Amino acid sequence: AQTVTQSQPEMSVQEAETVTLSCTYDTSESNYYLFWYKQPPSRQMILVIRQEAYKQQNATENRFSVNFQKAAKSFSLKISDSQLGDTAMYFCAFMKYFGNEKLTFGTGTRLTIIP
C-alpha cells in the first residue's frame, strides 16, 4: 500500500515571498503520478500541478513548480511570488500509473499568506 506524508501541518509566509511545501511518499510501484491539490476555505479540491514519475523534468504551472526526487521519494511544491489567494490547505496525492486508480492523500499543509 502507498503512504503519503506531509510533515508541515501549518506554514505562513509574507505576500510575494516564495514558499516550499514538503511531501514524501512510500511505494513499491515504479510508475505512478503525483499531484498537489489546493483546498481553499470553500473546501473545493482544485488540482494545482501533476507529475509523471517516469519524467525526470520537474513540472511547472505558472508560479507553481515541483521538485521531484524519485530516488528519495520526495515531491515538494514551490510557490513563487505568493498571493493572498494562495491561502489554503494543500494536499499531496499519489496515484498508481493506470490512471483510473484511487488517490492516496497526505494529511495536508495549511498555508497562510500574510499581507
Partner 1 sequence: EPEVTQTPSHQVTQMGQEVILRCVPISNHLYFYWYRQILGQKVEFLVSFYNNEISEKSEIFDDQFSVERPDGSNFTLKIRSTKLEDSAMYFCASSDGSGLRGYTFGSGTRLTVV
Residues at the contact surface with partner 1, assessed by CB under 8 A: 33, 35, 37, 42-47, 50, 52, 91, 93, 95, 97-108
**Exposure on the CB side of residue 102, measured as CA atoms within 13 A:** 5
Cβ 105 to partner 1 shortest distance, Å:
4
Using the minimum distance from each CB to partner 1, give the nearer residue, 33 or 82. 33
**Least separation in angstroms between CB 85 and partner 1:** 17
Place of cell 509523471: 52
Contact 49, 77 (CB under 8 A): yes
H/E stretch holding 73 reads none
Task: Output the smallest distance, CB 73 to partner 1, in A.
Answer: 18
Report in angstroms the alpha-carbon separations of 92 from 14, 29, 81, 96.
22, 17, 21, 14
C-beta of 3 vs 14, nearer to partner 1: 3
CB 34 within 8 A of CB 26: no
By C-beta, is 28 or 42 nearer to partner 1? 42
CB of 111 to partner 1, least distance (A): 15
